[in-house]
Structure 1
Amino acid sequence: MKDKARLIHTSRIAVRWGDMDAYNHVNNTVYFRYFEQARIEWAERMGSRVSPFEEIGPVIINASCTFLAPVNYPATVVVRMYAGSPGRSSLMTWYELFVEGEDRLYAEGAAKTVWMDMRSGKSVPIPQAVRALFDDSAA
């Protein structure tokens, strides 16, 4: 995680029985869903409605996850989402995944988000509400 990353959102998500795989722990693909849920909650809070009917919205162009320990049902995961300084149209984000009530880090991930004009498929400037999060005079 970059040194100047800021905590921008925390999400609590119940682990569902169906999130587990044949090894009796949360399937690796589901961790990306947990990160996605945190990202969507944050984007909507910032006024970026995530919908195929919106003209402009955030899309992921790269995502990664490092699995450090298995999560088992029942549990509630806590996803902390961090972001670095925004570029013109992109924002780098990082994630930490914990199980509620524990200090152990279960997974960490990253995703690069780009704001796109859905009609043209071209990038557009990051919305001012998002950019304002990184204005040091507002901190």
Structure 2
Amino acid sequence: MKEGAKLIHTSRIPVRWGDMDAYGHVNNTVYFRYFEQARCEWIEQMGFPVSPREAAGPVIINASCTFFVPVNYPATLVIRMHAGEPGRSSVMTWYELFVEGQDKLYAEGAAKIVWMDNATGRSVPLPEAIRALFDAAAG
């Protein structure tokens, strides 16, 4: 995670039995869903519906995950979402994945969010409300 990143959201997500794979732990692809859920919760809590029917909204242009310790069912995950200084139309986000009640970091990830005009597919400036939240966090 980048130095200076700000904690912006914490999400709690139960691990489902179906999240596991043949090896008996959460499948690597599911971690991206956990990060996505935290990201969507954060965006919607700020008052921006995550919907293609909106004129503009967030998309991600890249995503990554590093796996440190396998997660097994049953568990409740704690996802801590952090963000860096916003650019014109984008903001970098980072994720830390813990199992509730443990201090051990199970995985970490990253995703770059770009605000996009849904009709044209082109980037547009981040909404002022998002910038204001970062300005308030920096103060």
TM-score bracket relative to the smaller structure: over 0.9
Are the structure 2 counterparts of residues 138 and 62 from structure 1 closer, same or farther at C-alpha, using a change threshold of 3 Å? closer
Are the structure 2 counterparts of residues 138 and 113 from structure 1 closer, same or farther at C-alpha, using a change threshold of 3 Å? closer
| Contact 1:97/1:107 (<8 A) preserved | yes
SS in structure 2 of the partner of residue 11 of structure 1: strand
**What 5-or-longer segments of structure 1 have no aligned partner?**
none
Tell me how far 1:134 sits from its aligned partner: 1.7
Matched with 2:97 is: 97
Moved runs in structure 1, 4+ residues, more than 6 A? none
Aligned-residue Cα RMSD (Å) equals 1.2
CA offsets per residue over residues 16-53 of structure 1, 9 Å max, x none?
00000000000000000000000000000112210111
TM-score if structure 1 supplies the norm length?
0.97
For these two proteins, the number of residue pairs brought into alignment is 139
The within-5 A match list for 1:1-139 is: 1-136=1-136, 139=139
| Contact 2:92/2:110 (<8 A) preserved | yes
Mapped to 1, the partners of 2:99 and 2:13 lie a distance apart of 10
The one-letter amino acid paired with 1:133 is L
Identity of aligned residues (%): 76
TM-score if structure 2 supplies the norm length?
0.97
